[in-house]
Each structure stands twice: as C-alpha cells, then as structure tokens.
Amino acid sequence: MTTVLTTAVGFVVTGDWKALLYGRGPPYEEFEENADPEQHFQALLSLAQEGIQKGKVVPIGECGLDYDRLHFCPAEIQKKYFEKQFELAYAIKLPMFLHMRAAAEDFLEIVECNRDKFIAGVTHSFTGSVEDCDKLLSFNNMYIGVNGCSLKMIENLNVVKGIPVERMMIETDSPYCEIKNTHAGINFVKSLWPSKKKEKYDQDCIVKGQNEPCLVRQLLEVVAGCKGVNDIDQISKTIYRNTCRVFFPHDLDSADDALLAGCHDS
Ligand SMILES: [Zn+2]
C-alpha cells in the first residue's frame, strides 16, 4: 500500500485493486488551526494541482462529517469546511472520497446544496440505513463504499444486500476495519490466510489483528453472500469497473481489456 498524501488531499492505492483510501477522517482542524483558512485553501489547491500534474492525486478526501468525533472537532466547524471541500474538489474537477458517520441528515443536506459541484465520489465505510443509502444514490455518480465496519450487524448486512452492485465499491480501510469474528458478515467469509503476530513477522503471513489489502477479497465474499450470489467473479468485475470509472477513467479501456482477457482475477 502506498500513501501518497494524507492531508485534505490524499489517496492510497491498494495492490492491484486500486481501491482508494486516504488519511483517517476528515481533517477540518487543519483549516481552523491555520491563521488564514483561505490561505490554507489556496495551499491545498496548489498541492492538489501539483499532485495531479505528477499523477499522484486522484480524489479529494477524506471529506465529510463524523459526529462520533465531535471531541476532535465541533459539528459547526465540520459543516463549514465540508462545504469548502466541495469547492476544492470542483476547482480541480476531482472526485471526492467521502466519510459519513452518525451525521446522515447534515451530510445529505450539504451534498444536496453542493450537487452542482459534485462530480463523482464514494461515501466510504458506509454504516447508514437503507433510507440513507437511497438518498445517497439519488446523487449522480455517487457510490457506496463497503468495508468491515459496514458488516457488523445483521441490519448492516440487509443494507448491503440492497446496494446495487453497479453503485458499490469495496475497500479494506487497512489497517483498520477488518471483518472480525464477532461481525455478522464473518459467516460469508471463505478466504483465510495464515497470520502471525507482528513480533514474529513472516512475509508469507498476514499480521495478526491487522487488516491487510489482500483481505479485500473477504469483502467481496460477504457482499456476494449477502446478495445470494455464487459467482463472485462478475461482482468483482463490476465493482472494479465502478472504481475505475470514478477514480481512473483513463485506465478504463485497458482495465476492460485486461478483464476481457481474463488476466485480472480479483
Ligand atoms: Zn473515513
């Protein structure tokens, strides 16, 4: 996994999946801590432009609201700078990597108000309701991202079951958000890897207690299980295409060619 930038402009590419991740959580305090938020905005803009030129910046993220982290940043400040993140993404015509936690009402309202600035994106680590999901999917080019946090309870699985594969992405959110043995989704997991504690690191094993990029396959297995689909290959191709469409549109043709040739078996 390669972390390229982990401030307000950032992304991570995982192995051959090209699933997009980020720095953890929306980084609003950066704006407030800066003496001149507008100057900070301009600095982020230049950083993003430089990153685009170098081919290193793909989406703007994480953006969004996290009301489970109000102790880090009050809701009013989060909302104020969530708006600003739309401005940033629109200024450089990039998709957004979005985070919505315990904040669906405000989140959806702000996306609605900024609909004209929203090009495309994914609301990752989705843990919302069927209603939240439907509202998100009413925005053009919005995708829902599923990780281990999305698979904890039976209610979560029922929501995942209803997300159209054509509007879904999957992610590990490595090194966090693994599918734990206590999660409802664990029953659908088929692929397991040997693991060892980090103190006994072995390159042929995954690190015990740590989510790793290869485990994205487990996400696929649980999504397929929820939907009652046996052939995970078709789902994986559709999800892969979704990811390319939003984040790597220029790769789409070559990705399609590779898929058709059967040389991408993720
Ligand atoms: Zn997040």
| Greatest Cα pair distance in the chain | 55
Write down the pLDDT at residue 252.
Answer: 78
What mean pLDDT is predicted for residues 134-140? 98
How many whole angstroms from 61 Cα to the centroid of ligand 1? 9
Q: How confident is the model at residue 221, as a pLDDT?
A: 97
Q: Span 240-244, mean pLDDT?
A: 92
Residue showing tokens 């979560």: 156
**pLDDT at 190 (0 to 100):** 96
The Cα-based distances of 133 to 64, 108, 246 in angstroms read: 15, 10, 18
Average pLDDT along the chain? 84
Instruction: Calculate how far, in angstroms, residue 127's C-alpha sits from the geometric centre of ligand 1.
Output: 11
Write down the pLDDT at residue 69. 87
> How far is residue 207's CA from residue 1's CA, in Å, rounded to a whole number?
14
Q: How far is the CA of 12 from the centre of ligand 1 (A)?
A: 13
pLDDT at 261 over 70: no
In the reported structure, the alpha carbon of residue 98 is separated from the centroid of ligand 1 by a whole-number distance in angstroms of: 7
10 pLDDT higher than 70: no
Within 13 Å, how many C-alpha atoms sit on residue 193's CB side? Answer: 19
Q: Give pLDDT, residue 3.
A: 27
pLDDT of residue 30: 61
CA of 82 to the centre of ligand 1 (A): 13
Mean pLDDT, rounded, for 155-173: 96
What pLDDT sits at residue 47?
A: 86
How many angstroms does the Cα of residue 260 sit away from the middle of ligand 1?
Answer: 33
Q: Which of 9-18, 66-75, 236-245, 249-258 has the lowest mean pLDDT?
A: 9-18
pLDDT band at 253 (very low <50, low <70, confident <90, very high): confident
User: How does strand 195-196 pair with strand 206-207?
Assistant: parallel
In the reported structure, the alpha carbon of residue 25 is separated from the centroid of ligand 1 by a whole-number distance in angstroms of 5
Domains recognised in the chain with CATH numbers: 2-260 (3.20.20.140)
- CA pair distance 61, 76, nearest whole angstrom: 19
Query: What is the 68 CA–ligand 1 centroid distance (Å)?
Result: 11
Asked whether the predicted pLDDT for residue 27 surpasses 80, the reply is no
Instruction: Grade residue 52 by pLDDT with cuts at 50, 70 and 90.
Output: confident
User: Could you tell me which residues are beta bridge partners of residue 196?
Assistant: 207
pLDDT band at 96 (very low <50, low <70, confident <90, very high): very high
Instruction: Give the distance (Å) from ligand 1 centre to CA of residue 157.
Output: 19
| Ligand 1 centre distance from Cα of residue 257 (Å) | 32
Gap from CA of 200 to ligand 1 centroid (Å): 30
| Token code pair at residue 110 | 């702000």
Distance 261 CA to ligand 1 centre (A): 34
Q: Which of 11-20, 191-200, 237-246 has the lowest mean pLDDT?
A: 11-20
Can you give the pLDDT at residue 200?
A: 96
Q: What per-residue confidence (pLDDT) applies to 188? A: 97
